[in-house]
A and B are shown apart, each in its own frame.
Chain A
């Protein structure tokens, strides 16, 4: 019984991990059909914000939940204004530019903080479940993954901003004709997506430590999750995370984390061969 609970929690954690990694990217992709190739570096930036401010004496929860999303969100808005907005409608160019940004950020952070691993200890201790003991932080991850999904769904479904966002997503030209400034919608979307990514990066930082090149370790998982999910933000991210999280966790338990990633990709390739628009391109097409 205890073991079953542990396995369930482990799988939930794996799924939550992917949700956290992919949520911000999924928001941007869902709205703008742009994949931010600097996504890994946005996570890295969130991580650095937490570690550096914690070292400066800031409360770790405040750093994680407020500072990280704030910093990365503002950075995202800046990037949108300076780079992305010139490239709407030129999807390939936006990929190239964000990739350039990714390299620039790795190089820049290396110059500032050096190429060393920094870390803080994981807050909260362990929780005992019967004979087993697991880190309580796992529940934080699961909680925030669930919160992200519910919050995005709630905002999109029930608020005016969400309605504007959905309208722009469906038909930008029409939204523009109704007096919505779509450029602002895109700017806000990119900012919010970045903020969510920053928060995720902050939450992951105590687990992984931070180093300028850390983004590389996450982009694979994030990209695969988002494109496998397809264009719907919530249904896509959730279904892909669930499917791929289970597969990679299973593979990791069997052979170790390196092949977990390979299994993830292989599963995604087969899936994309069958459903080229991702899961939500064929199933759950009407969902958010």
Chain B
């Protein structure tokens, strides 16, 4: 597991692929395709937020969409009021992170067990979803922005250049910027995970008692991890809102939380590259399956989730890696008599 980021080839490959897509895609693809890919980019950022807190902090949240939705609505409301998007974009990270810290305080300083944690995160999300659904009337406005209840908020501003509210980003620029953000989040998380803070987080995931016996404050650590994840999810929400120029309460839905879990599970808990792969694979799959008349989104999501838990609990990337490693070792064992001792492998 411990391999400095600087020495891990997987890290460079990922960043290189990212940069290649960032600069290459606008040249190779038409506008429509770029818009489609943008969607995957936004959802990948969202997936990374859960991949981090679950895989590297051991916090399984059933309510990641709570922060996604909070970020989206924060961006929508503040950008409509302010008339520019730079500050609202920053706010859409800060506010969900702050809310995550507050909720985290209750959960982690209360030392809630895993089951309780799952239930609380899910119920908080449900309540947000319910409340926002009930804000259809004109009396529910924040400044110039009407919350619109189940109708959602239309005409959300497109991102503009910082300092120039009239210089809107065109779709290709927006794609590049989002791709840039994805790369930044990926690098940031990799560096964070490899840092001392990250190592302690992994230690806490592995053994909370031992961590506190070494003098680390488990509760504070978890609150910080949870807040960082919440902030990233919130930022993804803002990206989603400005990409669609529209947001409705479905951003808060359980479906949206379930998707994040499924992507991370499919890609593999404890990796960052996996969940991105999960987004691409499963979004594409549900797009294909969604065209079938006899299925609906809930059936697809539910079935995938159950199959993953029962058949592939380790997720795709770790499973493939494991098969590859076992295959390689069997191959080597045939070459040499003595099998190599098991060493801890690096996580991409």
Contacts and interface: CB of A to CB of B under 8 A. Distances in A.
Interface of A: 33-35, 37, 83, 86-87, 90-93, 95-97, 99-108, 110-111, 216, 219-220, 223-224, 227, 258-259, 261-262, 265, 268-270, 272-274, 276
Nearest to A38: B302
A101 B110 CA distance: 30
Contacts of A227: 115-116, 119-120
12 contacts: A93-B309, A96-B261, A96-B305, A100-B304, A104-B299, A111-B295, A219-B126, A224-B123, A227-B120, A262-B127, A265-B123, A272-B112
A100 B302 contact: yes
Nearest to A105: B302
Contacts, number: 130
Given A83-B310, A100-B305, 15 more contacts: A34-B115, A35-B119, A95-B60, A101-B306, A102-B302, A104-B298, A107-B295, A110-B298, A216-B126, A227-B119, A265-B124, A265-B127, A273-B110, A274-B110, A276-B113
B310 A97 contact: yes
Nearest to B125: A220
B114 A91 contact: yes
Interface string B147-175: 00000000000000000000000000000
Contacts of A108: 298-299
Given A110-B296, A258-B130, A261-B130, A220 B123 contact: yes
B194 interface: no
Contact of B306 (A97, A258, A259): A97
B87 interface: no
A105 B123 CA distance: 19
B127 A35 contact: no
Contacts of A37: 62, 118, 122
B15 interface: no
Given A96-B265, A100-B309, A223-B122, A107 B300 contact: yes
Contact of A103 (B60, B110, B131, B255): B255
Given A83-B310, A107-B296, A107-B299, A91 B115 contact: yes
Contacts of B295: 107, 111
A92 B306 contact: no
Given A110-B296, A219-B126, A272-B110, A99 B115 contact: no
B198 interface: no
Given A108-B299, A219-B126, A223-B119, A269 B106 contact: yes
Nearest to B304: A100
Contacts of B123: 219-220, 223-224, 265
A224 B127 CA distance: 12
B301 interface: yes
B169 to A, nearest CB: 35
B297 A216 contact: no
B294 to A, nearest CB: 7
Query: Interface size for chain B: under 10, 10 to 19, 20 to 34, or 35 or more residues?
Result: 35 or more
B254 interface: yes
Given A107-B296, A261-B130, A99 B258 contact: yes
Per CB-CB distance, the 6 closest pairs between chain A and chain B, nearest first, are A107-B298, A104-B302, A100-B305, A103-B302, A107-B299, A100-B306
Given A107-B296, A107-B298, A276 B111 contact: yes
A103 B310 contact: no
B26 interface: no
B126 A220 contact: yes
B18 interface: no
B301 to A, nearest CB: 5
Contact of A276 (B112, B258, B297, B298): B112
Contacts of A90: 313
Contacts of B331: none
A107 B305 CA distance: 13
Contacts of A259: 131
A106 B130 contact: no
Nearest to B306: A100
Nearest to A111: B296
Interface string B264-282: 0100000000000000000
Contact of B258 (A91, A103, A272): A103
Given A106-B298, A107-B300, A97 B118 contact: no
A99 B62 contact: yes
A258 B131 contact: yes
Contacts of A101: 302, 306
Contact of A92 (B60, B112, B296, B299): B60
Contacts of B313: 90, 93
Contacts of B116: 227, 272, 276
A37 B114 CA distance: 14
B332 interface: no
Given A91-B115, A220-B127, A273 B298 contact: no
A258 B309 contact: no
